[in-house]
Amino acid sequence: MSWKALTLKNITYIASAAAILGVFLFLFIEIVDELREKELVRFDERVINYVQAFISPRLTEFMQVITFLGSVNWLAFAVIIAAVLLFIFKKRSLALFMVISSGVGALFNILLKWIFKRERPDIRPLIEEQGFSFPSGHSMGSFIFYGSLAYMIVHLAKKRRWKTAWVLLLGFFIVSIGLSRIYLGVHFPSDVIAGFAAGGVWLTIMILGFRYYEFRKNL
pLDDT at 2 over 50: no
Whole-model pTM: value is 0.90
Sequence spans of domains, the chain: 3-217
Residue type at position 137: G
Q: Is 205 exposed, middle or buried (0-12, 13-18, 19+ CB in 10 A)?
A: middle
- Reported residue count of the chain is 219
Q: In the prediction, which pLDDT does 10 show?
A: 67
pLDDT at 217 over 80: no
pLDDT at 207 over 70: yes
pLDDT at 219 over 70: no
Helices (H), 53-91: 57-68, 72-88
Q: In the prediction, which pLDDT does 3 show?
A: 47
Please give the torsion angle defined by the CA atoms of residues 92, 155, 100 and 115, in that order, rounded to the nearest 10 degrees.
Answer: 180
pLDDT at 97 over 90: yes
Query: Distance between CA atoms of 152 and 207, rounded to whole angstroms?
Result: 10
Q: In the prediction, which pLDDT does 206 show?
A: 93
175-191 pLDDT, tens per residue?
Answer: 999 999 999 999 999 99
Q: Cβ of 181: how many Cβ atoms within 10 Å?
A: 28
Pick the more confident residue, 162 or 197. 197
Helices (H), 8-119: 8-36, 41-52, 57-68, 72-88, 92-116
End-to-end Cα separation, the chain, in angstroms: 9
109-124 pLDDT, tens per residue?
Answer: 999 999 999 999 887 8
Q: In the prediction, which pLDDT does 218 show?
A: 65
When pLDDT is cut at 50, 70 and 90, the band that residue 127 belongs to is: confident
* Residues with a known catalytic role: 138, 187
Percent of the chain scored above 90 by pLDDT? 66
